[in-house]
Amino acid sequence: MHLLRSPAIAAALVRSADVGSGDLVLDLGAGTGAITRPLAATGARVLAIERDADFVARLSAELSRRNVRVVRADLRTVPLPRREYTVVASIPYSISTPL
C-alpha cells in the first residue's frame, strides 16, 4: 500500500479539481484522508470511499460532523451516485496491483 503523505501534493490535487460548495466529490480510496481533509475544506460535499476498516473508523471519527460521509466499500462494487459528481481518486497511492 502506498499512501499519499505530502500535504502540498494533496492540496495541489484538490486545487486542480476546482471544486467548492455545492459540488459532490467522490474521494475513491480515501485512505488516511490526505485528500479528504482538503476536499472538505473547500465546502464541497465529500463521499469518501475506503475499503480498510481501520481507515474508515478513523476518518469517520474525525470528519463525521463535517460535510463528509465515509463509506466502507470495495470500489469495484460500490454503487455510485445518480447525479453529477466530481471524482478525486487517490487509488494510485493506495494499491500496487491492478484494480
Using CA atoms in the order 27, 33, 35, 39, what is the torsion angle rounded to 10 degrees? 70
Domain residue spans of the chain: 7-94
**95: pLDDT strictly greater than 60:** no
pLDDT digits (tens, 9 = 90+) for 1-45: 556 678 888 888 888 888 999 899 999 889 899 899 999 999 999
Amino acid residing at 99: L
**What does the pLDDT average to over 65-88?**
87
- Strands 45-50 and 86-89, by their bridges, are unpaired
Q: Quick check: pTM over 0.85?
A: no
The architecture of the domain spanning 7-94 is 3-Layer(aba) Sandwich (3.40)
How high is the mean pLDDT of the chain? 85
Q: Which DSSP letter does residue 47 get?
A: E
